[in-house]
Structures are given as structure tokens and as C-alpha cells.
Amino acid sequence: MRATAPITALILVFFVIIATPVGVSAQKQAARQLAAVRGEVVKIARAGKGMLLITVRPSGDFSEVTVLARENDMVGSAVGRVGDGDLLGLLSGDHREDEQITAAEVNQGDIVSVIYYLQRQNKTLEIYMD
């Protein structure tokens, strides 16, 4: 019974080694790395047809981050909003949850959270309004 645990561990390690793709470079793995920033939009500039450069200034001593987004990228909304009268907006008739906005509709001064690819020219993955 005691010999089964080391053998099982050895078999699992063997399968992990076999399952690892051969030739996966560090650069390909680095391309999968994501970063995130939350802060105020301080600048929006056109970067070509259908593309925007959005500069976000985080709070504190962090430097500004410029991300590349498509104009038609959908912008999600944060879960909690300050000052909501009721949980779902049912009583007040608030239909903000139904609104769909795009990156082209983000304005200077908006507080956003952005998830982006580090190795792909800071290409955005997700944008959320806070």
C-alpha cells in the first residue's frame, strides 16, 4: 500500500511531462500574460481606422498606461454602483443596466478598469466602467 503513492506520483509527473507541448517558448507564454489598470481616463486619441489609444491614470504613484482598443469594443459596467436606490433598479425605473456602450463612447474623466495584453501593444481584452 505504501509503494502505491510514490508510483502514482511518478505516473502523474510522467503524464505532465508528456502533456507539455514541445517547443513552447517563453515568448509565447509571455504573450498570454495580462495586466490590469483601474483609474481615470485622461486622454483618448485616434490610432487608425476604428482604433483608439486610451490613456488611464491610476491612483497613487503608478504611471499612466495607454491601451489600444477598437472603437466598437463593448464596455461592461461594474457590479456595484454608489447611490443606487434599490438593488435592481426595479422600483425607480432605472434602466442603466440595459445600456450598452462602446469604447468610442468613453469620455475623459470616466473611471474605468481595463484588462490588457502586455505583449500585444497593450491591446485591450476587457473594459469596465466604474
Confidence of residue 5 (pLDDT cuts 50, 70, 90): very low
pTM score above 0.75: no
Ordered by start, the domain boundaries in the chain are 33-129
CA–CA dist 44, 79 (Å, integer): 25
CA–CA dist 77, 128 (Å, integer): 5
Reference 57, options 102, 112, 126; nearest CA is 112
Instruction: Give domain 33-129's CATH number out of 2.60.40.1120, 2.40.50.140, 3.40.50.2300, 3.40.50.720.
Output: 2.40.50.140
List pLDDT tens digits, range 55-108: 999 988 889 999 999 999 999 886 555 554 545 555 555 555 557 889 999 999
List pLDDT tens digits, range 37-52: 999 999 999 998 999 9
